[in-house]
Amino acid sequence: MDVRNFVRGVISGGLIGDCYGYIYEDRPVVKFDVPLKLITDTLSGDYFKDGSHRYYGGTVPSVFRENARTNYENPFSYAATLFKGSGSYGNGGAMRVSPLALYGLKVSEIEFDVSSIDK
């Protein structure tokens, strides 16, 4: 594997994803309500079965509980109230984890898996 190309790919992928995703930030309306509801229902349903192994951030369980309480009618409404009203859609971790792939080039698969788990 060409490490330089891999590193460029990781950094470029994060940058391109962030740039293209910008147009979707702060949009008040989600047009695909049915798929969004199904995805939210599925993810939180899996969490309620046994979420202990998922290592979600500290706020995500409360979002799942609130969505279940309101029958997933508006999946973003509770998240929008978090963090002093600035909201959170939970993408920050996904954006910041890509450099972990670079670290993974130098460690065994087991060490990489252990380092990627948020304890």
pLDDT exceeds cutoff 70 at 117: no
Q: Can you tell me the distance from the alpha carbon of 98 to that of 116, in angstroms, rounded to the nearest whole number?
A: 10
The reported pTM is 0.38
What residues make up the domain containing 30? 3-115
Task: List the alpha helices (DSSP H) in 22-108.
Answer: 33-50, 60-69, 77-81, 92-96, 99-103
Angle at alpha carbon of residue 14, lines to 84 and 72, rounded to 5°: 45
Domain count, the chain: 1
**pLDDT at position 79, please?**
77
pLDDT in tens, 26-82: 665 556 556 667 777 776 666 666 655 556 667 777 888 888 888 878 877 887 787
Cα gap 62→10, rounded to integer Å: 31
The count of C-alpha atoms lying within 13 angstroms of the C-alpha of 47, restricted to the half-sphere facing its C-beta, is: 18
Fill in the DSSP letter of residue 53: G
Residue with tokens 């509801």: 37
pLDDT digits (tens, 9 = 90+) for 87-105: 665 556 666 677 776 766 7
